[in-house]
Amino acid sequence: MPSYTVVGASRGIGLEYVSQLASRSDAMVFAIVRNPEGSTHLKDVAMSSKNIHIIPGDVGAAKQVSEITGGKLDYLIHNAASTNVNTVYKGFDD
């Protein structure tokens, strides 16, 4: 059973990745979001599929994914982003 982790899965492209991957009965999908309580669309998708696991956190949630998958992750989709007025107009420091 292939395992997929989607970081930034609460809405938009990340949510669609989760939805499409979960339609595969042979897939195990981990949706990593900062705020599971506020991720209403993701929770709706997860309720209709048994192979979605919502994990609160960020890319640092690797330990939780590792425990559930037995230490093996097949695919990582890193879709998380962070923007604000300063980074949009001025860029990042590094």
Query: Per residue of the chain (94 residues), what is the pLDDT tens digit?
Result: 899 999 899 999 999 999 999 999 999 999 999 888 999 999 999 999 999 999 887 555 677 777 777 788 899 898 877 666 666 666 656 5
Q: Which amino acid is at 25?
A: S
**Residue 76 to residues 30, 37, 64, 69, 87: CA-CA distances in angstroms?**
9, 23, 14, 13, 25
Residue 55 lies in a domain: yes
**Residue 52 to residues 27, 48, 49, 75: CA-CA distances in angstroms?**
9, 9, 6, 14
pLDDT on residue 45: 95
pLDDT on residue 72: 83
Residue 14 lies in a domain: yes
Is the entire prediction scored with pTM above 0.85?
no
Burial of 86 (0-12, 13-18, 19+ CB in 10 A): exposed
pLDDT on residue 19: 96
Residue 46 lies in a domain: yes
Residue 92 lies in a domain: no
Q: How many separate domains does the chain show?
A: 1
Range of the domain at 7: 3-81
Residue 94 lies in a domain: no
Residue 90 lies in a domain: no
